[in-house]
Amino acid sequence: MSKLLEDLKLNTGRTIPRVGYGTGGTDIYNNPPTISELYEVFKQALDIGYRHFDSAIMYSNEKNLGEVFQKIFAEGKYKREDIFVTSKFLPQGNLTVEQQIKESLKNLQFEYLDAYLIHFTFLAPNEKGEFTHKPLHKTWAELEEVQQKGLVKNIGISNCQIQIIVDLLSYAKIKPSILQIEFNLLNQQHDLLEFCQRFGIQVTAYSPLAQGAGINDPLVQQIAQKYGKQPAQVVLNFLAKSLGLVIIPKTHKVERLPQNLELNDFTLTEEEVQQLKALNVNKRTIDTKHYPAFGNIPFYA
C-alpha cells in the first residue's frame, strides 16, 4: 500500500480525510447490504486506511451503520475519534435541524458528527403544488446552532450552485466548511470548484466515477497503462490529487477498497490534467429532473 493522500484542512481548522467511503447509491434501496456484509467491508476499509465515511438520513442506513461502528469500536482497535463521519439532512418544514441531527446521532450511536450537510435545499412540492420546505436562511441558522452546541464539528451544504452559496454567505454567521456535489470526468464543475476554493469552502465529490461512465475512454486507458494503474485510479487521482477534491467513491466489494486509496504514488502531468479536463461534457449522473421524489424539478437549471 502506497502512502495515503494527506488530509485537507477545513476552514474550521479541523481536517478531513481526502478519500472517503460513500454509503449511498441506488443499491442501498434495491439490494441493501446486510449488517454482517457492512461489518466486513468497514472493518477491511479501516484496516487499509479509510477514515472517512459518508451517509445521509435519505439513505435509511444510519441504524445499520451505527451497529457496525459500535461492533468495531468494541473490538478495541479503533475509536470514534479515529474516524470522520458525515451525514446529510433535508430542510423539513415540520422538523428542526436539532431534531434531525439528534435522530441521526441516536441511530449512529454517536455523541457528535464530524460534518452535517443540507442534502438539498428544497423538497418536492406537495399534491397542491405547494413548497413546504424550510427556507435556507432559517435552516442555516438552526444548523449554526447545533454546531455551537457541539453536536457537529463542521457544517455545510450539498447540491448547490454558486448563486445559492453567494446568498448564503451574505448572512451566514458561520461559513460553510464543505460543499458536496457531483463531480466526475463527465460533469466537471470547475467554475463552482474555483469559487469554493476562492472563499475557503472544501468541495467533496460524490459519484466521482460517474457509475463507470468515462473510465473506458481511450485517454484514460492510455494514462492508466502508462502508470500501471486501473482506469478508475487515474480518474480518482485526477480529482483528488490534481484538483484538490475530497472524493467519496462507493463499493461493497472488498477487493476494490485498496485501489480507491492507492492514489499517491503517481502524479499526472499538466498536459494529462488538461486532457482529462477536456473530457467534460456537463452530463450529470444524478439529476433531480429525473426523480419523482424531487418533483422532477430541474434544480440545476
Q: Write the CA distances from 88 to 77, 117, 207, integer angstroms.
A: 27, 5, 16
**All residues at 6 or more sequence positions from 186 whose CB lies less than 8 Å from its CB, including other chains:** 210, 213, 214, 279, 280, 281, 282, 283, 285
Rounded CA separation 91/119 (Å): 8
The continuous run of DSSP H or E covering 38 comes out as helix 35-48
Cα(12)–Cα(200) distance, integer angstroms:
10
**Could you tell me how far CA 66 lies from the centroid of its own chain?**
18
238 class by beta-carbon count within 10 Å (0-12 exposed, 13-18 middle, 19+ buried): buried
**C-beta of residue 24 within 8 angstroms of C-beta of residue 59:** yes
> Of 50, 59, 116, 206, which is the active-site residue?
59
Q: Which of 55, 130, 127, 142 lies closest to 95 in space, CA to CA?
A: 142
Binding residues for substrate: 119
Q: Which residues are annotated as part of the binding site?
A: 119
- Name residue, grid cell 494527506: 6
Please tell me the distance from the alpha carbon of residue 159 to that of residue 53, in angstroms, as a whole number: 18
Does the active-site annotation cover 112? no
Residue 66 grid coordinates:
451505527
**Helix and strand totals (H; E) in the chain:** 11, 10
Q: Known catalytic residues? A: 59
